[in-house]
Amino acid sequence: MSCRDIRLKFSAALDAPRDAEDRVRIEAHCAACAICGPEWRTLLRLEELMMEAPAAPAGFADRVMSALPTPAPARREIMPFAAAGLIAAAALVALQLATVATATAPWLAPVRDLMAGLTETVRARVASSPWEITGWVLAGAATIGALSGAVMGRVRQVVG
């Protein structure tokens, strides 16, 4: 092979196995040739540098995951909170209406009696064990607070 033929085969030889016939011939030629030899050695140096690469830093996957956009929660995750809020609001309205209505309408006397009975029971409980009632009120307030906090958190996630 001429020097020109040798150099035309450089690239293919680099992609061939080390013991491929052409590669062995090229190696032998370049060991002795003052023109092809340096070119071949530059290509070997290039290959050496192209082969080596540092490893990715530790914790790289964490970095990627935290850079991803935060997914919006699915609608069904918000539904229980929204439903609970609506039911609570409806119950409060109903209670207010019932209080106003029972104060005047005579045909609602049984309801009025029931409410009075309930009120009396509550009053008696407060009188006998005020700390227990205070506990229930605080627990109720905490539940409502937690519930509305969760709802607002979801709303902020969706809006933001």
Partner 1 sequence: MQDPGVPNSVVRAAQGGDRNAFRRIVEAWTGAVFGLAWRFCFDRTDAEDLSQEIFLRLHTKLGLFDPSMPFAPWMYRMSANVCLNWKKRRNPRAASIDAMGAEGEAYDVEDPRDPAAERRRAEEAREALGRAMSGLPDEARTAIALRYEQGMEVTEVAKAMEVPVGTVKTWLFRARERLRAMLAPEWEVEK
| Interface of this chain with partner 1, residues 15 to 54, rule: CB under 8 A | 15, 38-39, 41-43, 45-47, 49-51, 53-54
| 14 neighbors 47 (Cβ within 8 angstroms) | yes
Which of these ranges, 18-26, 68-76, 78-86, 139-147, lies near partner 1 under the rule CB under 8 A? 68-76
| Residue 45 vs 123, nearer CB to partner 1 | 45
Q: Which does 33 bind (CB under 5 to 8 A by kind): partner 1, Zn ion, none?
A: Zn ion
Q: How far is the CB of 143 from partner 1 (least distance, A)?
A: 31
The residue whose two tokens read 């119950």 is 91
Q: Which does 14 bind (CB under 5 to 8 A by kind): Zn ion, partner 1, none?
A: partner 1
| Interface of this chain with Zn ion, residues 32 to 91, rule: CB under 5 A | 33, 35-36
Q: Which residues of 120-148 are buried (b: 16+ CB within 10 A; e: fewer)?
A: eeeeeeeeeeeeeeeeeeeeeeeeeeeee
Q: Residue 18 corresponds to which amino acid?
A: R
- Contact with partner 1 (CB under 8 A): which of 4, 63, 123, 125? 63
| Residue 34 vs 61, nearer CB to Zn ion | 34
Enter the DSSP assignment of 107: G
d(CA 148, CA 82): 10
Take residue 62 and report the two structure tokens written for it: 């964490």
